């Protein structure tokens, strides 16, 4: 009967869930020192066979013949601001408050809070990967000289304003890479640009390591129980 397999399938689902959580936590810890990195979190829900629904077979691989499963509904990103640290580099910028810098990668526009910028060989303001930083009209910013930045995003060269940084709030932000996002942009409000500062990762290492240990132990418990059940089923089958 399928019910004999319920413990095995339920515990296997739990172990796979813990494996996904371990992957998420280790990725967060790996980016502990990545400026402006935003940690990922898992949203978990419980899938259950609808009351009264039964399939006229006993195949345990048919999920409708099993009772409850933990399911990863989605992985989402915690966009809360990380600590801001002074670097003294005039091309390091941090956003205090809500907002993202706009950058162009190929023909597409993406967004990031990672503000360790530089000037490329043509004088364009770019991020560390060489993607050009955009102004409030999504135009590339080319500078002739060392810039200074106002708290509202104004860009000055030689005391004269030459551009305004594009700082956008995002609706439905989606992480595209380690620190790049897509979404529906609108002009950000109430932010401050801090020159000579960088935003750090919002990963709390102490809490994340505690979650890692807890999740690893739970994964081991599931694994040991599955092995015990497998041994029990083997003995049961050999007795017939």
* Contact status, residue 15 vs residue 219, Cβ threshold 8 Å: yes
* Contact status, residue 155 vs residue 147, Cβ threshold 8 Å: yes
- Spatial CB neighbours of 164, under 8 Å, sequence gap ≥ 6: 135, 136, 152, 153, 154, 155
Three-state SS string over 70-121 comes to: EEEEEEEECCCCCCEEECCCCCEEEEECCCEEEEEECCEEEEECCCECEECC
Interaxial angle between packed helices 6-30 and 205-238, expressed in degrees from 0 to 180 and rounded to the nearest 10:
160
pLDDT at 112: 96
- Report residue 200 as tokens: 């750090």
Where are the chain's structural domains?
Answer: 2-79+203-238, 84-199
Q: What is the spatial distance between Cα 228 and Cα 226, in angstroms, rounded to a whole number?
A: 5
pLDDT at 232: 72
* Contact status, residue 71 vs residue 79, Cβ threshold 8 Å: no
Least Cα distance to 103 among 146, 79, 134 occurs for 134
pLDDT at 1: 43
pLDDT, averaged in runs of 10, over the chain (240 residues): 60 81 93 93 70 52 60 84 95 96 94 95 94 95 94 94 95 89 94 96 94 88 77 68
* Contact status, residue 163 vs residue 135, Cβ threshold 8 Å: yes
Q: Which helix (H) or strand (E) holds 160?
A: strand 160-164
């Amino acid at each position: 009967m399928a019910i004999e397999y319920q413990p095995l399938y339920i515990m296997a689902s739990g172990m796979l869930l813990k494996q996904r959580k371990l992957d998420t936590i280790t990725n967060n810890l790996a980016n502990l020192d990545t400026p402006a990195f935003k940690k990922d979190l898992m949203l978990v829900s419980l899938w259950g066979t609808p009351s009264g629904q039964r399939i006229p077979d006993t195949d345990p691989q048919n999920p409708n013949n099993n009772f409850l499963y933990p399911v990863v509904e989605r992985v989402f990103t915690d966009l809360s601001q990380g600590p801001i640290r002074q670097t003294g580099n005039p091309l390091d910028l941090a956003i205090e408050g809500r907002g993202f810098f706009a950058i162009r990668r190929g023909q597409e526009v993406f967004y990031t809070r990672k503000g360790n910028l530089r000037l490329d060989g043509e004088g364009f303001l770019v991020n560390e990967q060489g993607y050009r930083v955009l102004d409030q009209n999504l135009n590339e910013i080319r500078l002739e000289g060392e810039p200074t930045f106002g708290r509202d995003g104004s860009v000055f060269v030689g005391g004269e304003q030459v551009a305004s940084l594009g700082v956008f709030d995002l609706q439905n932000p989606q992480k595209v890479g380690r620190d790049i996002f897509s979404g529906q942009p609108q002009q950000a409000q109430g932010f401050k640009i801090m020159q000579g500062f960088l935003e750090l990762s919002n990963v709390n290492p102490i809490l994340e390591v505690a979650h890692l240990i807890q999740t690893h132990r739970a994964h081991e418990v599931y694994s040991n129980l599955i092995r015990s059940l497998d041994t029990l089923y083997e003995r049961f089958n050999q007795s017939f």
